[in-house]
Amino acid sequence: MNLVDQPDPPKVAGGEAERQTELIRLRYRDDMAADGPWNEVIATILSHRSVRAFLPTKLPAGTLERLVAAASAASTSSNLQTWSVVAIEDQARKDRLAILGAEQKFISQCPLFLVWCVDHSRLHLAGAERQMTLGGLDYLEPFMVGVVDAALAAQNAAIAAESLGLGFVYIGAMRNRPEDVAAELGLPSGVMGLFGMCVGYADPTRPADIKVRLPQNAVLHREQYHADSMPEVIAAYDPRLVEFQREQAMRETPWTKLATERVKDIEALRGRDRMRQALNNLGFPIR
């Protein structure tokens, strides 16, 4: 077996060409060309939709370990591996975490709830072992490293889950009350729950759909950032999101309104304005 072998060249034919066109159309709802390299991995990634209604069906044996292996395979800054994941299946604990997580009922409902953590505790242990104080960990930068490490690991697990026919949704509300989440999960100093992830089989009676995103000329910049055209690019996105909301029988709200309301003032942060204090309490000085 030669691990350096490259995957088969992409093939696009018949039903796959139609699938490709549809996935790109639903993602952007603009005149974005659908052609380009294609394979099953890319199709899996482009098919993502967040699932918020789950069947009670348990995951097959070995699935959690496979998702964590996918997470371990992600890149990590300087091999520091400053992340951990807590896997919760106990119903009472899921119910308590749902209360901490803005009472989102799918936290209780999903068969597997994962809390992805920034984890400096193994570095502190290694430092103690070597009788070092590790003053570098007191700064914002190594906390950012942990946030990136945890997110890369989680996204690998997320793609692996979707490839197995599972659905998931990230739960940012795990940051609403970080100390309470840490207490519930028994996190040591230097560990914080960055976000949750509900995992399970999607309830087919309540299907999720592909959400339309900002167009590529909003997020992709060639050589240098192009800011001049951005107001028109954003304005063009508003009606596409409203069209999606209308199809979903959701309240019709343009992105510019939704997004600005979400960050307009301290109250909109739902307690997360005290994140720095919470992180200090959890062992991250964030200098």
- Name which of residues 146 to 165 contact a second copy (CB under 8 A): 147-148, 151-156, 158-160, 163-165
The CA-based angle 194-184-162, given to 5 degrees, is: 45
- Rule CB under 8 A: choose which of 12, 25, 28, 252 binds a second copy: 28
How many residues bind a second copy (CB under 8 A)? The answer is 150
Structure tokens at 168: 């998931």
Question: Does the footprint of a second copy cover residue 86 (CB under 8 A)?
Answer: yes
Question: Does the footprint of a second copy cover residue 234 (CB under 8 A)?
Answer: yes
Structure tokens at 67: 């998702």
Question: Does the footprint of a second copy cover residue 4 (CB under 8 A)?
Answer: yes
> What is the nearest approach in angstroms of a second copy to the Cβ of residue 201?
9
Q: Which is nearer to a second copy, 99 or 148 (CB)?
A: 148
Q: Which of 175, 142, 179, 134 is nearest to 282 (CA)?
A: 179
DSSP 119-161: E-HHHHHHHHHTT---GGGGSHHHHHHHHHHHHHHHHHHHHHH
- Rule CB under 8 A: choose which of 7, 13, 31, 251 binds a second copy: 7
Give the DSSP letter of residue 37. -
User: At residue 62, what are phi and psi to the nearest 5 degrees?
Assistant: 85, -5
Question: Does the footprint of a second copy cover residue 242 (CB under 8 A)?
Answer: no
> What is the nearest approach in angstroms of a second copy to the Cβ of residue 80?
5
- Rule CB under 8 A: choose which of 29, 83, 110, 177 binds a second copy: 83
Please list every residue from 88 through 117 that binds a second copy, using CB under 8 A: 88-90, 93, 117
Interface characters, 49-68, with a second copy (x: CB under 8 A): -x---------xxxxxxx-x
Residue 190, Cβ neighbours under 10 Å: how many? 21
| C-beta contacts of 137-140 below 8 A and 24+ residues apart | 137/190, 138/285, 138/286, 138/287, 139/285, 139/286, 139/287, 140/286, 140/287
Question: Does the footprint of a second copy cover residue 269 (CB under 8 A)?
Answer: yes
The answer to whether the CB of 180 falls within 8 A of the CB of 174 is no
Name every residue whose Cβ is closer than 8 Å to that of residue 195 and which is 6 or more positions away in sequence. Answer: 115, 116, 150, 154, 170, 171, 172, 174, 175
Q: Which is nearer to a second copy, 56 or 141 (CB)?
A: 141
Question: Does the footprint of a second copy cover residue 255 (CB under 8 A)?
Answer: yes
- Rule CB under 8 A: choose which of 12, 25, 30, 46 binds a second copy: 46
Please list every residue from 113 through 142 that binds a second copy, using CB under 8 A: 117, 119, 121-123, 125-127, 129-130, 132-137, 139-142
Q: Where are the alpha helices (DSSP H) in 29-109?
A: 40-46, 63-72, 91-100, 105-109
- Rule CB under 8 A: choose which of 12, 48, 252, 283 binds a second copy: 48
Please list every residue from 154 through 213 that binds a second copy, using CB under 8 A: 154-156, 158-160, 163-165, 169-170, 172, 175, 185-188, 191, 194-195, 202, 204, 207, 210-211, 213
